[in-house]
């Protein structure tokens, strides 16, 4: 009897595709990847092997092109945990795109400093 390590895996099991939606400088970005993990850096999600559409497409999506330029030459990226909106395992890859912009108070390039994931407890001394 063959064990599971010798049995051929189906095409679906061989390649998992993930859709990652995250915030990046007031933009809601959607990318596809074959590798997502918690990584070795606390508070970050590790995304590797970012997938983009075929280069032979006639219709060019400007938001996909800007994401291609931003992630050109990137082997692995780390996205802060608080910037992640959603991660889904999907059947097939889609088009990477910027889906929207978060409206703010008109502060331009000024953004709030990221809040920590946890707040360490200090001394409980009463003075």
Query: 76, 72, 75, 71: which is closest to 30 by C-alpha?
Result: 71
Domain boundaries, the chain: 14-101
For residue 57, what are its two tokens?
Answer: 């497409």
Whether the per-residue pLDDT at 123 is higher than 60: the answer is yes
- Are residues 47 and 76 in contact, defined by beta-carbon separation less than 8 angstroms? yes
Q: Radius of gyration of the chain from Cα atoms?
A: 19
Over the stretch 2-46, which tens digit does the pLDDT of each residue have? 444 444 555 545 689 999 999 988 888 899 999 999 888 888 999
User: In this predicted structure, what is the pLDDT of residue 90?
Assistant: 92
Query: 29, 17, 33: which is closest to 76 by C-alpha?
Result: 33
Q: In CATH, which of 2.30.30, 1.25.40, 2.60.120, 1.10.3470 is domain 14-101?
A: 2.30.30
Over the stretch 108-121, which tens digit does the pLDDT of each residue have? 565 666 666 666 67
pLDDT (average), residues 63-85: 86
Over the stretch 96-109, which tens digit does the pLDDT of each residue have? 888 877 666 555 56
Over the stretch 38-64, which tens digit does the pLDDT of each residue have? 888 888 999 998 888 765 556 667 778
């Amino acid at each position: 009897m063959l064990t599971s390590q010798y049995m051929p895996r189906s095409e679906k099991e061989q390649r998992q595709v993930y859709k990652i939606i995250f915030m990046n400088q007031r933009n809601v970005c959607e990318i596809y990847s074959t590798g997502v993990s918690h990584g070795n850096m606390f508070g970050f999600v590790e995304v590797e092997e970012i997938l983009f559409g075929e280069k032979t497409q006639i219709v060019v999506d400007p938001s996909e092109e800007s994401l291609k330029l931003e992630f050109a030459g990137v082997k692995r990226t780390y996205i802060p945990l608080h910037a992640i909106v959603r991660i889904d395992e999907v059947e097939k890859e889609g088009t990477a795109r910027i889906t929207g912009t978060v409206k703010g108070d008109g502060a331009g390039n000024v953004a709030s400093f990221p809040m920590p994931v946890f707040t360490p407890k200090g001394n409980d001394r009463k003075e």
